[in-house]
Amino acid sequence: MTRRISLTQYLVEEQRERGRIPAQLRLLLEVVARACKSIAISVNKGALGGVLGSAGSENVQGEVQKKLDIIANEVLIEANEWGGALAAMASEEMDSIYVVPNRYPQGEYLLLFDPLDGSSNIDVNVSIGTIFSVLKKQSDTPGVSTQDFLQPGSAQVAAGYCVYGPQTTLVLTVGDGVAMFTLDREQGSWVLTADEVRIPEDTKEFAVNMSNQRHWAPPMQRYIDECLQGKDGPRGKDFNMRWVASMVADVHRILCRGGVFMYPWDKREPAKAGKLRLMYEANPMGFIVEQAGGAATNGKQRVLDLQPGQLHERVSVILGSKNEVERASAYHREAG
């Protein structure tokens, strides 16, 4: 029988044998994984748990919050605030940062999350998820402020996501490749089910909300137009389209079989860089995708090189199979 490797074992090996992660970071990642397990239980209960529907409030982005957005946010805060590894947390669903209360020891890490990704899919029983990113506080000065969070994605020490789908899967990077763990519900443990994940460099599959096409910038129009022309166009091959409308599920498919995911800038709100959030969505997913051999850009710059100006900043995103991301970037460069 092949040996089952648990998340704990994987992380201990990353710590002990490869020297990749300090003990505090390992503990922090285990707690995040435990919180995801708890969110998965709420998700599974659905209508029976009274977790569906709107919470009747709005977040800082002006989006209506679902009950599960708030439940997942609370689960992550409560699980992570007392462990001693963290100085503060930031979430898509909170206006400002959450500093670890004085009654607990303060650590050196910063945790950022999109507690519930794919909110529009909650009530219709389609895959949703949680996305997280870990930074290290750079300054030694006591206390912590929003400024401490404003680090480029290349400074992330770990990132991951959990998909609540037909299976519950946790995907993780500590900067040493990408590993996937499947939740064994009977045992209550995360079991390593894929390691050293690689995204194929070429693909015939794209993921984008096509209903927005007429609002995109010319280089994006060109890229998608050419895909749509298929065999008869300059690409000389037919493309397939998939759009789950949960970034976690779309990115997960790309990690499993390749593809390119886009949420481009849109001229209806020209001042807004895009729909997705740099710190809670683009950076963690960009880190994971790069660690699997893919690429992530806003069209002009590598996502992980962007210097955030504010916590809830938005960004245009193109990520996935390397050669497709490179082609879309080239069209942006040519357009100037």
Of 251, 269, 244, the C-alpha closest to 61 is: 269
Nearest residue to Mn ion on Cβ basis: 117
The binder of 108, among Mn ion, ligand AHG, none, by C-beta within 5 to 8 A per type, is none
Contact 66, 119 (CB under 8 A): yes
Q: Taking contact as CB under 6 A, which single stretch among the options 102-110, 190-198, 242-250, 282-290 is the one that binds ligand AHG?
A: 242-250
Q: Least separation, in Å, of the C-beta of 209 and ligand AHG?
A: 4
Name the pairing type of β-strands 86-91 and 109-117. Answer: parallel
Residue 169 and residue 7: Cα distance in Å, rounded?
12
Q: Taking contact as CB under 6 A, which single stretch among the options 6-14, 118-126, 159-167, 295-303 is the one that binds ligand AHG?
A: 118-126
Residues 159-198 that bind ligand AHG (CB under 6 A): none
Residue 255 and residue 195: Cα distance in Å, rounded?
11
The binder of 246, among ligand AHG, Mn ion, none, by C-beta within 5 to 8 A per type, is ligand AHG
To the nearest 10 degrees (0 to 180), the angle between helices 247-257 and 283-291 is: 10
Query: How far apart, in Å, are the Cα atoms of 59 and each of 93, 96, 182?
Result: 6, 11, 31
Residue 88 and residue 109: Cα distance in Å, rounded?
7
The binder of 107, among ligand AHG, Mn ion, none, by C-beta within 5 to 8 A per type, is none
Q: Least separation, in Å, of the C-beta of 207 and ligand AHG?
A: 8
Residues 100-129 that bind Mn ion (CB under 5 A): 114, 116-117
Q: Least separation, in Å, of the C-beta of 31 and ligand AHG?
A: 21
Number of residues that bind ligand AHG (CB under 6 A): 13
Query: How far apart, in Å, are the Cα atoms of 125 and each of 93, 216, 220, 281?
Result: 21, 30, 31, 21
Residue 114 makes contact with ligand AHG by CB under 6 A: yes
In one-letter notation, the amino acid at residue 130 is: T
- Token couple for 30: 């285990």
Residue 209 makes contact with ligand AHG by CB under 6 A: yes
User: According to CB under 6 A, which one of 54, 57, 96, 120 is a site residue for ligand AHG?
Assistant: 120
Return the beta strands (E) in the chain as ranges. Answer: 54-58, 64-66, 86-91, 98-99, 109-117, 128-136, 158-164, 168-173, 178-184, 189-194, 205-207, 240-241, 260-263, 276-277, 295-297, 314-315, 317-320
- Token couple for 279: 């710190």
Would you say 106 or 119 has its CB closer to ligand AHG?
119
Residue 114 and residue 88: Cα distance in Å, rounded?
15
Q: Taking contact as CB under 6 A, which single stretch among the options 7-15, 98-106, 241-249, 321-329 is the one that binds ligand AHG?
A: 241-249
Q: Least separation, in Å, of the C-beta of 113 and Mn ion?
A: 9
User: According to CB under 6 A, which one of 73, 106, 119, 173 is a site residue for ligand AHG?
Assistant: 119
User: According to CB under 6 A, which one of 245, 308, 323, 331 is a site residue for ligand AHG?
Assistant: 245
Residue 114 and residue 73: Cα distance in Å, rounded?
8
Residue 117 makes contact with ligand AHG by CB under 6 A: yes
- Token couple for 333: 């460069």
The binder of 109, among Mn ion, ligand AHG, none, by C-beta within 5 to 8 A per type, is none
User: According to CB under 6 A, which one of 246, 291, 316, 321 is a site residue for ligand AHG?
Assistant: 246
Residue 70 makes contact with ligand AHG by CB under 6 A: no
Residue 336 and residue 192: Cα distance in Å, rounded?
44
Would you say 92 or 324 has its CB closer to Mn ion?
92
Residue 81 makes contact with Mn ion by CB under 5 A: no
Contact residues for ligand AHG, defined by CB under 6 A: 63, 92, 114, 117-120, 209, 245-247, 263, 275
Contact residues for Mn ion, defined by CB under 5 A: 92, 114, 116-117
